[in-house]
Chains A and B, each alone.
Chain A
Amino acid sequence: MDILTLDVAERSGRRVLMANGEIDLATAPMLEERLEELLSDGGVVLDLTAVSFIDSTGLRVILNAHQNAEDQAQSFPIVAVDGPVMRLFDITGVGNRLALFSSMDDALADE
């Protein structure tokens, strides 16, 4: 059962990785691999608005990607709205460490 799909699109000259489904122990490695690829090739905006579930395994992947982006002096904007993603960011207190945006337009404007 494939519970996470990842699609890449070009928006305003930037690549956007759109995650749809659940991010957990089974699917986090897929996300990790795509983020590593895209971050090593110019950067990415991560769209989590269609993520219906995430736990700390998925969160760890996002934090590692954020760190990798920082190490490469890249921005790593993340689009997330109220729901399971923001709930996990809130209860773990990591939200303020990430570049979070509630809309894609705002994320694309991030340098």
Chain B
Amino acid sequence: MSEGSAADSFRLSLPADPKQVGAARLFVATTFRMLGADEDLVADLKLAVSEAASAIVRAQGLAGRILIEISSVASGETVTIGPLTADDMAADDGIAPGDVVVAVFRDARIDEHKHALVIPVNRPRDS
């Protein structure tokens, strides 16, 4: 966090149900539109969050939760989504969800301490 700046934080917790993957995308898209993101970035965020939320549902089953946090500071936003491990984002039969995420957000990574996927979002700012 930059000196003296307070982070805005947006959080959502959803049941780990396939039907909630769309709600995870909607949350991220709505929040980033509110923060002024353009539609290309919103489309990439929806894809990355869909990959991560789907991996959570597969790994956790219906008893689990999809936890999403978007933190916004002057230098940019970070999307954190979990609980996830690197194994959860690996390929089961060809296309790895983790590869799709990294294709659109090169700096995205699994944070083993947070047990989550962390996506730093860099975008042009108005000021």
Whether chain B is bound by chain A comes out as yes
Could you mark each residue 31-45 of chain A with 1 if its beta carbon is under 8 Å from any beta carbon of chain B, else 0? 000000000000000
Query: Whole-angstrom distance from the CB of B65 to the nearest CB of chain A?
Result: 16
Complex: chain B residue closest to A84, CB-CB: B43
In contact, B97 and A56 (Cβ under 8 angstroms): yes
In contact, A22 and B95 (Cβ under 8 angstroms): no
Binds A, one of B2-10, B14-22, B68-76, B113-121: B14-22
Of the residues A57, A92, A94, contact of B103 by C-beta under 8 Å: A92
In contact, A26 and B47 (Cβ under 8 angstroms): no
B80 at the interface (CB under 8 A from A): no
Query: Whole-angstrom distance from the CB of A43 to the nearest CB of chain B?
Result: 23
B100 at the interface (CB under 8 A from A): yes
In contact, A91 and B103 (Cβ under 8 angstroms): yes
Of the residues B18, B58, B100, contact of A92 by C-beta under 8 Å: B100
Residues of B within 8 A of A50 (CB): none
Residues of A within 8 A of B51 (CB): 55-56
In contact, A91 and B21 (Cβ under 8 angstroms): no
Residues of B within 8 A of A9 (CB): none
Q: With A55-B100, A56-B51, A56-B100 given, is the CB distance from A87 to B21 under 8 Å?
A: no
In contact, B93 and A60 (Cβ under 8 angstroms): yes
Complex: chain B residue closest to A87, CB-CB: B43
Residues of A within 8 A of B100 (CB): 55-56, 88, 91-92
Could you mark each residue 41-81 of chain A with 1 if its beta carbon is under 8 Å from any beta carbon of chain B, else 0? 00000000000010111011001000000000000000000
Q: Closest 6 interchain pairs by CB?
A: A26-B18, A91-B103, A25-B18, A55-B50, A25-B54, A56-B95
B contact set with A: CB distance below 8 Å: 18-19, 21-22, 25, 43, 46-47, 50-51, 53-54, 57-58, 93-97, 99-100, 103-104
